[in-house]
Amino acid sequence: MSAHTHALRSFRNLPVASPLPRDVHVSFEFFPPRTPQMEQSLWACIKRLATLHPAYVSVTYGAGGTTRERTHATVVRLRQETALEPAAHLTCVGASRPDRRGGAPLLAVGHSPYRRPARRSPVEGSDRYTPHPDGYPYAVDLVAGLKRIADFDISVAAYPETHPEALSAAADLDNLKRKIDAGASRAITQFFFDVSVYFRFVERAEKAGITVPIIPGVLPVTNFAQVVRFAGPCGASIPAWMPDLFAGLDDDPDTRRLVAAAMAVEQCRALHAGGVTRFHFYTLNRADLTFAICHVLGVRPCEPTALAAATGSPA
C-alpha cells in the first residue's frame, strides 16, 4: 500500500469525513446577566440559538448560589416570551427546603462550568460548604425532595475526571448513582477536552449500573487563559496538546476563535462517531461558536414558521 493510499483511507476514517449527522439533539446553557449591556448580549445569543430548536436551555447560578433572583427572572422571561423549554438550576447552598419547592418543568440540579457544583459549593465569603439548617444537605437529597413534590424532569451533574472534593473516583461514581436512583432522568458532564475521558467514564458508569443518558458538556474555548484558571476547581484537566494550539494568541481573539471552533468541532464529531447524539453546550452567552459547531453537527435553523414559534416573533 502506498503512503498516499494509506493517507486516503485514514482520512476517510476521520469523523470530519463522515456524512453529516442527522440524529443530533442539543441543549444550551446561559448565565444570568449582571448589567443591561450583558442582558442585551444574552438575549441576542438566545434569539440566534433558538433557531436551532434546542431540546431545552438552562440558566445557571453564580458561584456559591449567587444570582438566584436573576436566574429565576431569566427563566420566567424565557417561559413567557419564547417557546423554548427553560431549565432552572437549583442549589442546596444557602437555601431552605421551602425555597426549593418551586421550579420549572425541567430542572438542572447543581451544575455549572464556572464553579464548584452546588452540592458542596460554599456560600460567597466562605471557604467551605455548610448545609443550610433547614435545607437539603446535598444534591441527592434535593433530587429526592423534588421528586416527592412532583414528577419533575431532573438533570444532575457528572464528573468524568472526578469531583475535586470527592474521596475517590469510585466514591464520586457512587454519588452519581445515588442521584440517579433518587429520580434524576439524565446526567450532564462537567466540560472536558479529551474525548477518551468521556468514553472511559461512560463505560465505568455502565458497569456501576447507571443506565440513564450521560450527556457530554461541551465548552467552546473563547479564552484559553480563563479556561486554565477555572479548570482545576471544576475538576477538568487540560490535555498536554492543548496549550500549543492557543500559544501566541492571547492578543489575537479572531484567530483564537477559529482555533477554538476547529477544536470543538473535532471533539464533537469524535464524540458522535463514538455514538453520542446529545450535546449540552456551555455557551458563555455567546452564540457564534456554538452556532458554528451545531452547523457542522447537522443542527440547522428551523423553517420560518418554526423559527417564529421558537423566538416568539411573528412569522
How many angstroms separate the CA atoms of 92 and 180, rounded? 17
Q: Which residues of 154-165 are buried (b: 16+ CB within 10 A; e: fewer)?
A: bbbbbbbbbbbe
CB-CB contact of 110 with 156 (8 Å): yes
Give the span between the Cα atoms of 293 and 241, in whole angstroms. Answer: 21
Instruction: Specify burial of residue 177 (Cβ count, 10 A radius: 0-12, 13-18, 19+).
Output: middle
Cell of 59: 440558566
The cell for 278 is 446529545
Residue 156 backbone class (left: φ over 0; alpha: ψ -120 to 50; beta: rest): beta
DSSP string, 164-233: TT-S-HHHHHHHHHHHHHTT-SEEEEPP-S-HHHHHHHHHHHHHTT--S-EEPEE---S-HHHHHHHHHH
Positions marked active-site: 29
